A and B are shown apart, each in its own frame.
Chain A
Amino acid sequence: GQSLEQPSEVTAVEGAIVQINCTYQTSGFYGLSWYQQHDGGAPTFLSYNALDGLEETGRFSSFLSRSDSYGYLLLQELQMKDSASYFCAVDSGNTPLVFGKGTRLSVIA
């Protein structure tokens, strides 16, 4: 089977940096993706990592270590609008994405 673990809640201060970790167990692995979901809204795609290393997109970066079955999402220069839930998801190829339970990020002043 497949399983993903991520913290349920994280709180950080506006302007700071926060890292949201994700560990996974899967029988097949193509890549790890991250999605953001504001309350009552739709998840939106943030990033996809197929190879080891760090990928940066503006204030957000995502890291993957395939050997450790581990990835993280790094949010810099936090803003109040970053308060949302963040989901990691495993791409195992021909089967649908499997999502973690999500990490609720609260950004405080």
Chain B
Amino acid sequence: DGGITQSPKYLFRKEGQNVTLSCEQNLNHDAMYWYRQDPGQGLRLIYYSQIVNDFQKGDIAEGYSVSREKKESFPLTVTSAQKNPTAFYLCASSPAGNTEAFFGQGTRLTVV
């Protein structure tokens, strides 16, 4: 079955550590996105990539980094520079155009 997979579902890290969230899709979509969601809030864009080996900053990119070495994969690293990293992280992909985005099940990151 085609879809978008995020792992792990829950992640705990100590403050000051970098952590990488995985996102893989087998939908053959060119575009991939990372969003952050805080309680009672909407989805805020962290980074996006419209083609392999290229990515763009979103609205809240500070403290995060990404790579897009393969079409299927778009990992997100939460660095120690991110001041408030505890949140629900959602990865999405879409075909050409924005008519429909497909989301992974999310990773809930807790930094203690």
| B-binding residues in A (CB < 8 A) | 8, 30-31, 33, 35, 40-45, 48, 50, 87, 89, 91-94, 96-102, 104
- Are A31 and B45 interface neighbours, CB within 8 A? no
Q: Are B103 and A99 in contact (CB under 8 A)?
A: no
Complex Cα–Cα for A105 and B30 (A): 33
Q: Which of B48, B58, B103 has the most CB of A within 10 A?
A: B103
A50 to B100, CA, bound (A): 12
> How many A-B contacts are there with CB distance less than 8 Å?
60
Q: Are B99 and A99 in contact (CB under 8 A)?
A: no
Contact partner, A97, options B50, B98, B106, Cβ 8 Å: B98
Residues in chain A near residue B98, CB distance under 8 A: 30-31, 33, 91-93, 96-97
* Chain B residues with CB below 8 A from A89, complex form: 101
- Extra contacts, 20 of them, besides A48-B99, A97-B94 (Cβ < 8 A), are A8-B40, A31-B98, A33-B99, A33-B100, A35-B101, A40-B106, A41-B105, A43-B90, A45-B100, A45-B101, A45-B102, A48-B100, A91-B97, A94-B50, A96-B58, A98-B45, A99-B43, A101-B42, A102-B41, A102-B42
Q: Are B42 and A43 in contact (CB under 8 A)?
A: no
Q: CA–CA, A40 to B58, complex, Å?
A: 23
Given contacts A33-B99, A33-B100, contact A43 B105 (CB under 8 A): no
Q: Which 9 A-B residue pairs are closest in the complex by CB-CB distance? A: A91-B98, A101-B42, A42-B103, A99-B43, A99-B42, A45-B100, A96-B48, A48-B99, A43-B103
